[in-house]
Amino acid sequence: MKKIFNMSNPKVERVLADLKRLGYRLTRPRQSVLQVLMEADGCLRPEEIHARARRYCSTLGLVTVYRTLSLLSEMDHIRRVHREDGCHSYARTELAHGHHLICRDCHQVIEFPGLDNMSTLIDPIARETGFLVEDHMLELVGLCPVCQEKVEA
């Protein structure tokens, strides 16, 4: 099958090539999910991805979304992000490195972008322990500006 989008996204192209290289078929459902993920600038839940991707492939089933997410995760083109409410979100690997800053009072959650210096922290630990560190999760807890004032008052 040919690409389903006339206007081509270089990120999408790259993944499509990778899929083909590995012998996977370039189906319309897959392409629709991929397109959504690669044009998004944040984390999306499977349900959201499903809704958006249906605009490109109206017959798309949620099951296929899950299957595609799992495949793209394996290939490390997207990454799964933990959510407080139990389920998961997915984002392009470049974006998925966000960390959380949580206010212990109002429970506000701020995402802050990935830290490049994270590896200066992790590398020595990997070396010492012999672990192959594949992922990390950093969560900061404290008081947001608003709640700091509430406490002072």
Tell me which residues touch Zn ion (CB under 5 A).
103, 105-106, 108, 144, 147
Q: Do 39 and 55 form a contact (C-beta atoms < 8 A)?
A: no
Q: Does 62 bind a second copy (CB under 8 A)?
A: no
Compute the least distance from the CB of residue 8 to a second copy, in Å: 30
Q: Does 144 bind a second copy (CB under 8 A)?
A: yes
Look at residues 147, 15, 4 and name the one whose alpha carbon lies nearest to residue 94. Answer: 15
Distance CA 115, CA 87 (A): 24
CB nearer to DNA: give 45 or 97: 45
Q: Does 86 bind DNA (CB under 7 A)?
A: yes
Q: Do 12 and 5 form a contact (C-beta atoms < 8 A)?
A: yes
Distance CA 11, CA 37 (A): 10
Helix (H) or strand (E) holding 120: helix 118-129
Q: Does 122 bind a second copy (CB under 8 A)?
A: yes
DSSP 42: S
CB nearer to Mn ion: give 141 or 153: 141
The item of DNA, a second copy, Zn ion, none sharing an interface with residue 125, based on CB under 5 to 8 Å by kind, is: a second copy
Stretch that binds DNA, among 21-29, 96-104, 105-113, 132-140 (CB under 7 A): 21-29
Class of residue 142 by CB neighbours under 10 A (exposed 0-12, middle 13-18, buried 19+): exposed
Q: Does 140 bind a second copy (CB under 8 A)?
A: yes
CB nearer to Mn ion: give 74 or 111: 111
User: Which stretches of the chain bind Mn ion, using CB under 5 A?
Assistant: 82, 97
Q: Do 31 and 4 form a contact (C-beta atoms < 8 A)?
A: yes
Question: Which residues of this protein are in contact with DNA, per CB under 7 A?
Answer: 1, 20, 23-30, 45-47, 57, 59-64, 66-68, 70, 86-88
